[in-house]
Amino acid sequence: MAFSARATRFAERKLASRLEAGKEDPERIGERRGIAGLERPEGDLVWFHAASVGESLSLLELIRRMSEERPDLRFLVTTGTVTSAQVMASRLPATAVHQFVPVDVLPWVRRFLDHWRPSLAVWTESELWPALISETRARGVPMVVINARMSKTSHDRWRFLRGMVRSLLERFDEAHVQDDLTAAYLRHLGLPGQRLHVTGTLKEGAAALPCDEDERARLAAHLGGRPIWLAGSTHEGEEEKVLEAHRQALKANPRLLLILVPRHPHRGDDVAAMIEQHGCSFARRSAGEMPGSDHAVYLADTLGEMGLWYRLAPISFVGGSLEPVGGHNPFEPAALGSVILHGPYVSNFVDIFQRLAESRASRLVSSPESLAEAVNDLLNPDRAAAMAHAAWEVCSAGAEVTDRALDMLFDHLDRTPRLTAAG
């Protein structure tokens, strides 16, 4: 806290560096200094803080259901990345607004809290920001953690500051965590055990990703029953392997179309060049193109359309898993009936992938060759249908995670004095 109070100059230099690197929105940079870009709505305001796109998306179903039950509630969602802000802009309901979280500098944090005055603060990550946590608690705002997951790396980093970390963790009233390992880490770092509850991941209870139904019908009619597979949320190093797998799969299925969706659309030019190097004809979504019968690849370098691609493709490779990234949420394809293929690097969702494997609801691949073999095998509709149904059953079994989170949030909210815009 003492450093945070004097860290303005350092933070300004850091923001300038991030701006230059394209990691900040220049039109909204004031929000990172705690300067609100919007007025505070009247009444009770529930503040959700999420680190990234995946965590912020996991909140949408929760916010939707809270809005239905309490139409008078309003919501603030804060994140720290430009990509998450872009996604939230198109996905948040009318009852919610997005702001960038302030950098953890005491004057900026105080400015942020003075303006928004949340009725309840909900953290959906295990990163600990001392000024933000301490100042929120000092104002008497109830603070809870939901959907928490802590890696061994984070635990090992924080354990050397155990005294400070314990002081921060003790400020939280309750914590819902994804797995036993996270619970053990947080307990070891100082969160009182009676406040800890292992509930599973919120992403299990999330609604299916949306899509434009007219666009889905248009694309489906245009593709005319072509066999399709999807490589979704791929990272650098994976596209090469995916394209090699597709080249091999085409030998057995010459009409096969690969829909390739990079995790970060700004990599579209690099991925397009890679496709050309592999000698594949392709169409590009960001250019408004449609895949023709002579195209082997459809490069879907856009944001917010995963619900469309999972509905079109009966087979989905989940990216971030053939390179040591940690994988992405497998329940997104599962909820939409798409078969799940994945690589060995799934540390971000290890418990979920383990349950999918135990239910024979996913298939592990480790090379272009095994990926091509799996794609060709699962083009058999009967095999694909059995796996997709098993995945859907594992996915739907987690809906109670959202129910428990809702009960907990309403319980803490009901203990809070009602607020107005004037405080």
DSSP states of 370-411 as a string?
HHHHHHHHHTSHHHHHHHHHHHHHHHHTTTHHHHHHHHHHHH
Please state the rounded mean pLDDT for residues 283-304: 96
Read off the pLDDT band of 350 (50, 70, 90).
confident
| CATH class, range 213-396 | alpha beta
Closest listed residue to residue 81, CA positions, set 131, 31, 148, 126 = 31
Residue with structure tokens 């005491």?
106
Span of 54-58, 62-66, 98-102, 239-243 with lowest mean pLDDT: 54-58
Instruction: Say if residues 349 and 327 touch (Cβ distance below 8 Å).
Output: yes
CA distance 307 to 163: 44
Torsion, CA 12, CA 13, CA 19, CA 24, rounded to 10: -50
Please state the rounded mean pLDDT for residues 381-394: 92
What's the one-letter identity of residue 258?
L
Cα–chain-centroid distance for residue 118? 23
Helix (H, G, I), strand (E, B) or coil at 343: coil
Question: Among residues 55, 135, 239, 332, which one is catalytic?
Answer: 55
Whether residue 204 has pLDDT greater than 60: yes
pLDDT digits (tens, 9 = 90+) for 161-179: 889 999 999 999 999 998 8
| Structural fold of domain 2-205+400-414 | Rossmann fold (3.40.50)
pLDDT digits (tens, 9 = 90+) for 117-159: 999 999 987 678 999 999 999 999 999 999 998 888 889 988 8
User: Which of the two residues, 227 and 209, has the higher pLDDT score?
Assistant: 227
Instruction: Say if residues 318 and 338 touch (Cβ distance below 8 Å).
Output: no
How many alpha carbons lie under 13 Å from residue 369 in its C-beta half-sphere?
A: 0
Q: Catalytic annotation on 240?
A: no
Span of 57-61, 231-235, 255-259, 381-385 with lowest mean pLDDT: 57-61
**What's the pLDDT score for residue 417?**
67
Share of the chain above pLDDT 90, in %: 74
Domain ranges of the chain: 2-205+400-414, 213-396
Distances (CA, A) of 163 to 20, 83, 149, 189, 192: 36, 34, 21, 8, 14
- H or E stretch including 250? helix 238-252
Domains 2-205+400-414 and 213-396 share a fold: yes
**What's the pLDDT score for residue 420?**
44
**What's the pLDDT score for residue 315?**
98
User: Which of the two residues, 419 and 414, has the higher pLDDT score?
Assistant: 414
Whether residue 421 has pLDDT greater than 50: no
Please state the rounded mean pLDDT for residues 366-377: 98
Q: Is 46 left (phi over 0), alpha (psi -120 to 50) or beta?
A: beta
Whether residue 419 has pLDDT greater than 90: no
pLDDT digits (tens, 9 = 90+) for 69-111: 999 999 999 999 888 888 888 789 999 999 999 999 999 999 9
Please state the rounded mean pLDDT for residues 264-285: 97
